[in-house]
Every structure is written in structure tokens, then in C-alpha cells.
Structure 1
Amino acid sequence: MKKNPLLRRLGASVSFLLLASALPASASAAGAKHKPADPRPRQRAKNAQHGARVDSHRDAHCDAHAASHDDSRHKADRAAHVAHAASAKGHASRFRQLGLASWYGRGFHGHRTANGEHYDMYAMTAAHRTLPLGSYVRVTSLANAKSVVVRINDRGPYARGRVIDLSYLAATALGMHRAGVAKVAIERVDKPEVERIAHRQMHLSTRG
């Protein structure tokens, strides 16, 4: 039986159209299969993880610093309590100490001291780690033999190797305010001697 030429041409056209429509889909599927993955989401996740580690490290460092500061203050307060209890058993004038003195001034002027006062750089006061607040000491410069009597109203110094922080006025009286530090001898002064010194200074000021 002989096929109609029109039917043969129609069949060929349909086959061509089906083949043409199938090729783009196959090519698209192949392209999708072989297309490399976008690295950006992975990199962002990596960066976020790194940032979390940095933030965690910074927070841990801040917490450690704060804990260290609190621990130092706690140790200083505990040492002061022990020293106060020990000094109460004996005579006040038995306390002796040698070391470096420093001073603090305008940057702390008006700030609260350990006993609740406002720091006055022009008053005869000092900061000590262990001596009872409100006690008095005589500080003598080993370089020029000048001495002052100061009242302990604050805690410190916190710099390694220093034993007492003087007010600006006390440091000036000892001639060490320009150098910043000086080797000194510290001795505890009892209340009667403090009163005698105050009376003598008042007498000299009225005569002047």
C-alpha cells in the first residue's frame, strides 16, 4: 500500500518539532547538572562563625579583665582587714616600711576615696594598701630627709613596686612632685603625736 505524501510530510514535521522541543530541555538539564555551586552562602556562614569566635574571645577577655580587677580589689580589702586587726594588738608606732612613693593629682581630684571622702589633691592625705583608713603615717624622703605626716583615706597604689600614693601637696612638700616617684620610709604615727604636730603647725602659722 502506498503512503500519502502529505501524511509523510506531516509526520516528519511533527517529529522535527518534538525533537526541537526536547533538545533545550536536555541542554538545560545538563547545564543545571554541571553548574558550579554558589560559594557565597558558604563563605558568609564561615565569616559568621569567625565573627562569633572573635566576639566570644573579646567577651571572655573583658570578663577576665573585670574579674582580675575585682579580685585585686578584694585581695587589697582583705589584706587591709588583716593588717588592721594585727595593728590593733600592738602599738601603732611599730609599723615601718621602705619603698617607692608616687603621687596622684588633678586626674583624681574630687573623686571618691575608699573611705567615702572626695579626694583633695591639696590636702595631706595618702593611699595605702593595708593601713587602716583614718590612720596617720610619717613619710620621709630618703633623698633629702624631708618628711610629712599624712592621713590614710584611700587604697592603693596599684602599680607594682610602689608602697604609697601621696596627694599632690604631700609630694610637693617632699620635693618629689616633678620626679613622680621617690624612695621613702614610712612609719605609723599615733594620735597624741598627730595632735602635737597639728598644734605646732597651727602655732607656726599664727606666728607667720
Structure 2
Amino acid sequence: MTSSPPPTRIRKPPEERRAEIVRIAARIALEEGLERITLRRVADELGVRPGLIGHYFPAADDLVSESFTHAATKERASLLPGEEAGLAPIDRLARFLTRLTDGDYADLSRLWLNARHVSRFKTGLRAAVRAQEELTRDALATLIDEGVRRGEFTTEDPLGVALHILVNIDGLGAYTNDDVPFDHPALRDMTITTAERLLDLPVGTLRARG
């Protein structure tokens, strides 16, 4: 009886393999932190040799930066999904803030906290963090400006309001590493009530619409 030849390993197209590497690294970053991303760790997750990962990312720092960019881009797309572009700005803002404050983004809050710390020592990651901050800031400011032009919001400074909201979100995110977070009813809707105050909306408007 003749034995069957060993199965031939199918080589993935370079674009597909690279995307897979980044996706795995982003998952490690979300679950364990950016410091845990190494070429060997990603290789072990994929069942390949570290040299294959090094072929696409000769420097682990490049993989760290790209994995953060991947996770942050997915975050923004889920918070401000393209399929909701036809909704009124007030409804899009309400959904954006409600999603952020309902606890489903704790891992991403930890990732942002982690990235800002680690980026002190990694110039590539620092550039990636700044780029993602700018994209999110511009998207939110554009949304608010549209709401002003349609008469839904009242403010002379859409960018300033966006900055207030995002800094508030980041401040609350600083508590995500607490095993027993500080608990007060005001915290749950702090970002929402801040937005309502800055945009001259009645209290409770955004939570109700979100």
C-alpha cells in the first residue's frame, strides 16, 4: 500500500497574509496590550515561523503601529458607520455617544490609554496615534458642523465642541484599568450631558435619540 503524499501548504497572496498578520496583532493589542506584540508571538498565533512575519514587518515597532491603526480605524467605523450617513446629524451624534458610554468599548479605551503611554518611546506609534486622533477629531467636527448648518445644534465652534467631547471621553477612559471603577450616576452620561450643554440641547435629548 502506498502512502499518500503530505498535503501541500497553500501559500496565501501577500496582501491577504499581511492583512492577517495585522489582524492578529490588533487582537493581541486589544486583549493584552501593545507591549505583547512580538514577531514570535504573532507567528505562534498563526502557526508559522517568525521569519515569515519579519518578511512583512522587519521591525516589530512597525507592526505595533499598524495594528493600532487597524484597531482605531475599525473603532471609528463602528462608532460612525457609513451606512448611517443619511441620518440626521443629531441622531448620528446620539448614536456615537451612546455606543461609547454603554461599556462595549472598554477594550478600545484601554488600547488608546496604552498607545498614548507606549508612544512616548516609539516614534512610529506616536505618529499613528496623532493621525488617528486627527481623523476622529475631523469626523466629529464635520458631523457637528453639519448639524449646525441644518439648525439642529447651536455653536460657533464645532471643532471646539468636538475637542471638549473627545477630551471628556479620554478622561473617562483613564478609569478603564480600574478593577473596581469609581461609580457615580453622573459618570454614565457625563459625555452626553457635556455635548448637550455645548450644543444648546435640552438635557436628555441625545440619550433619548441614541
TM-score w.r.t. the length of structure 1 is 0.29
TM-score (norm 2): 0.29
* Higher-Rg member (1/2): 1
**Structure in which a larger fraction of residues adopt helix:** 2
Question: Larger strand proportion, structure 1 or 2?
Answer: 1
